[in-house]
A and B are shown apart, each in its own frame.
Chain A
Amino acid sequence: MQEVIRLDQVSLWRRTQEEFSYDLKKTVLSVLEGKFNRPKRKLVLDGIDLVIERGDKLGIIGPNGSGKSTLLKVISGILEPTHGTLRVRGNIAPLIELGAGFDVELSVFDNIVMYGVMLGFSRREMQQRAFSILDFAELNDYYLAPVKALSSGMTARLGFAIATDVHPDILILDEVLSVGDESFMRKCQKRLDAFWQDHVTVLVVSHSMDFIRESCNRCIFLSNGSIQAAGDAKDIVDQYLDGIAPP
Chain B
Amino acid sequence: MAISLKNTARLTEVQRYWELLYVLVQRNLKARYRGSLLGVYWSLLNPLIMTGIYTAIFGDVFSPYYGDSLVDYMLAAFTGLSVIHFFSGSTSQALVSVVGNGVLLNKIKLPVSVFPVAMIASNVFQFCVGMFPLLAIVTLVRSHSLLNVLALMLPFISLVLVCTGIGLFVSALFVFFRDLPYFYELVTFVLWFSSPVFYPKDIIPDAIKPFLTLNPLIDIIDSIRDIALDGRVITIWGYGQNLGGPNLIEVFLSLMYGLLFLLMGWLCFRWWRPRFMDLL
A residues neighboring B (CB under 8 Å) = 14-15, 20, 22-25, 27, 73, 76-81, 84-91, 94, 96-97, 100-101, 103, 105-106, 110, 113-114, 117-123, 169
Contact = CB atoms under 8 A, between A and B. Distances in A.
Contacts of A76: 108-109
B66 to A, nearest CB: 40
Contacts, number: 104
A81 B2 CA distance: 8
Contacts of A120: 10-11, 16
The 7 closest A-B pairs by CB, nearest first: A23-B179, A24-B177, A15-B278, A77-B109, A114-B23, A89-B5, A86-B2
Nearest to A98: B107
Interface residues of B, number: 40
Given A78-B109, A100-B104, A105 B31 contact: yes
A24 B30 CA distance: 33
A88 B4 contact: yes
A24 B107 CA distance: 28
Contacts of B16: 117, 120
Contacts of A80: 1-2, 274, 277
Contacts of B242: none
Contacts of B241: none
Given A91-B10, A100-B104, A110-B26, 11 more contacts: A22-B177, A23-B178, A77-B4, A80-B2, A87-B3, A88-B2, A88-B3, A100-B107, A117-B19, A118-B110, A120-B10
Most buried by A among B6, B8, B109, B279: B109
Interface in B60-115: 103-110
Interface in B34-66: none
Contacts of A110: 26-27, 30
